[in-house]
Chain A
Amino acid sequence: AQSVAQPEDQVNVAEGNPLTVKCTYSVSGNPYLFWYVQYPNRGLQFLLKYITGDNLVKGSYGFEAEFNKSQTSFHLKKPSALVSDSALYFCAVRDGGNDYKLSFGAGTTVTVRA
């Protein structure tokens, strides 16, 4: 079985400070990892993914994430947070096998204060 844990329900940071949203995963095979963001009353929007290759992945809106196989983590980071980054963030994983089961974490609410 595959699963995702986002250990923090909420993350609060000041504008201009670094932002980190944590994610750990569990799969039996090779992980395909994704980050999505959800703004109020909207669907989810893709930020970035790790499939293979470089462990540091760069995505939309200045976000990046680092894949750490030994720690089974895929933390999302942004060097300088903006008020407009306030939203709900989801980490997701699927086992790179033959099915299309995708598991999401419970989500982390990010609040960036001016």
Chain B
Amino acid sequence: EAQVTQNPRYLITVTGKKLTVTCSQNMNHEYMSWYRQDPGLGLRQIYYSMNVEVTDKGDVPEGYKVSRKEKRNFPLILESPSPNQTSLYFCASSLRGDTEAFFGQGTRLTVV
């Protein structure tokens, strides 16, 4: 089954404790992105990648890091999480820039 898999689905952590949210897709897609969803703000793009070893900033990259060492994986790293990073996070992939994105099920992160 074609899918984007994120882990974990739920995470509660403390301020400053480094964490990684994994994202993997099995569709051989070139493009991958991370978004955060906050009430009233919709989805905002954090980082995107158009190919292996190619990443670029979206609209809200501060406090986040990503890497794309393999085509299928695109982990999101929070080196020192803060409470304002409490949010619902989505990973997505697409074959090309003009094709639809496939979204993961989301990761609900709470930073206390």
State the interface size on chain B (CB cutoff 8 A): 26
Q: Name the one of A42, A49, A90, A107 contacting B100, with C-beta atoms under 8 angstroms.
A: A49
Inside 8 A of B106's CB, which chain A residues have their CB?
Answer: 42-43
Interface size class of A (residues with CB under 8 A): 20 to 34
B112 within 8 A of A: no
B65 within 8 A of A: no
Known: A43-B90, A99-B56, A101-B58. A106 touches B97 (CB 8 A): no
Residues 9-44 (chain B) with a chain A CB within 8 angstroms: 31, 33, 35, 40-44
Known: A32-B97, A100-B48. A106 touches B40 (CB 8 A): yes
Q: Name the one of B59, B92, B105 contacting A42, with C-beta atoms under 8 angstroms.
A: B105
Known: A32-B97, A32-B98, A44-B90. A101 touches B104 (CB 8 A): no
B103 within 8 A of A: yes
Tell whether, in the assembled complex, residue A94 and residue B97 are in contact, meaning their CB atoms are under 8 Å apart: yes
Inside 8 A of A25's CB, which chain B residues have their CB?
Answer: none
What per-residue 1/0 map shows which CB atoms of B79-112 lie under 8 Å from chain A? 0000000000010100001101111111000000
